[in-house]
Structure 1
Amino acid sequence: MAHVLVVDDSSTMREIVSSYLIQNGFEVTVASDGRDGIAKLQQDPGIRLIVSDVNMPNMDGLTMAQKIRSEFGNKDVRIIMLTTEDNAAIRARGREVGVTGWIVKPFRGDAVLAPFRKFCGLS
Structure 2
Amino acid sequence: MDPPNGRIAAGHDGLIIQTAYSNGYVHTIHARFERWDGPPPADDWEELWAGPLSLKSGLIGVAAWATGYSHHMEFNLGKTGNTWSTRVATKILRTEQEPDFPHAFARIELYKIQFWV
- TM-score class, shorter: under 0.3
* Higher relative contact order (Cα pairs below 8 Å, separated by 6+ residues): 2
- Larger relative helix fraction: 1
In the superposition, the TM-score normalised over structure 1's length comes to 0.23
> Which structure has the larger Rg over C-alpha atoms?
2
